[in-house]
Structure 1
Amino acid sequence: MNDIIDKFNQIPLAQRVILLILTMVALGAAFWFLAYEPMQSDLKSNQSQLQELKHKKQDLARLKEKKARIQAKIASLEQELLIAREKLPESAEIPSLLQRIYNQANTAGLDIRTFEPMEHQTQSYYIEIPVKMQLVGTYDELANFFYYVGRMTRIVNVKNLDIKREKSGINENGNLVVSAQATTFQMNSAPDAGAAKKK
């Protein structure tokens, strides 16, 4: 080591300064190429990955928000579908429905003279299920009955009303005799076949 220092001291000052400068330049260049530039390249790559991850995070946040909105919409639509199926079910459920209407007419105090299911009418997307009925009772009894029918979850339309006054019975003015057609509906599970049958 001392020999190297002695030899270095024997070199003229100008050459020593140049040698030191060249050594420093060589060390600086080595540091630049071996350490600094790779670190800068890694830093740029990491920054690029960080930006990409931030974009992905933002995209995921948007998708999460969109998913929550879609799930809420699906839940709302499922609820609407349940309500729609109650109003327009896929199965006729005629016996229980007719029994409810019949029982309500009895509860209202009406005399049921006719309560007769008629032939189903198949439409494009639904099936009409009509029932011919003749009811006898007071105005209030009939009003209560029709109010109940109108409040049912299942769609029931009453049409072709024919109202006459009966000149007999306990009521001094006579009871009302109502002939009508009550129609409920069922979803047509095979609309194409139903439409073809109608044609």
Structure 2
Amino acid sequence: MELGLDKFQDVFVRLARLPRMQRVAFLAVLSVGIVGLYVYTFFLPAQATIEQLEAQQLELQRKLNEVRSVAANLPAFEARLGELEVELKTALRQLPNSKELPGLLTDISSRGKNAGLEFRAFRPKDEIPRDFYAEVPIEIEFTGTFHEIARFFDDIARLPRIVNVSDLRVEIEREGPQATRLVVKGNATTFRFLEQALAPGGKAPTASRTPAGGKEDQA
């Protein structure tokens, strides 16, 4: 320790003997060295740590703001969720499930008979699967007067379930003194809800097949 102190004192003695300009230059270089040592040893690492902490603080503040925003809008989110659930239930009521489908098909046929129609064909065909529902096409052929047919279509339109009638072809069966009987051929399409489509982990929907040629419901 004494040897180091002696050398330190010797440096200052020699420094004191130097001309004034050299002493100033030496002290300037020494000051720059001390400042540089401080900058690289203490200031820059501390600055990096400060910047890292500032970034963490900003990220935490952002997350806190998100939480506050969600908390502030939670009643609105819950209200909207309730509305969507009601809308979903309303929509699903228009799509029968597999258990309700036979009853719907019977209802359609019965409404036609009650309107005075005579069915010649009422054949459900192969289902066409979609995202969460399946189309159920039905080949139809019936006879009746214009008013009977209009009444049947009006009854179908009033069903709570969705039933679309398309590809209609109308021919005259026979003309009478009071009413002309018509033959109508075409397709009726209803829709079946696929229960597995909304089930957690459910598999992709597949078509439910009916026997080739379908099953005819005799009038």
TM-score range, shorter chain: 0.5 to 0.7
Q: Which runs of 5+ in 1 are unaligned?
A: 1-61
Q: Which runs of 5+ in 2 are unaligned?
A: 1-68, 198-203, 208-219
Does residue 122 (structure 1) correspond to residue 134 (structure 2)? The answer is no
Identity %: 34
Superposition pairs of residues 47-196 of structure 1, within 5 angstroms? 66-91=73-98, 93-167=100-174, 172=178, 174-189=180-195, 192-194=204-206
Higher-helix-fraction structure: 1
The number of residue pairs the alignment matches comes to 137
For 1:88, what is the secondary structure of its paired residue?
A: coil
Q: Which runs of 4+ in 1 moved over 6 A?
A: 62-65
Task: Give 1:194's aligned amino acid.
Answer: T
How far apart, CA to CA, are the structure 1 residues paired with 2:162 and 2:205? Answer: 23
Q: Is the contact made by 1:92 and 1:186 (CA closer than 8 Å) also made in structure 2?
A: no
Deviation at 1:171? 5.5
Q: Normalising by the residue count of structure 2, what TM-score does the alignment of the two structures yield?
A: 0.53
Deviation at 1:193? 4.7
How far apart, CA to CA, are the structure 1 residues paired with 2:115 and 2:179? Answer: 19
CA RMSD of aligned residues (A): 3.0
Q: Normalising by the residue count of structure 1, what TM-score does the alignment of the two structures yield?
A: 0.58
Deviation at 1:189? 4.5
Task: Give 1:141's aligned amino acid.
Answer: E
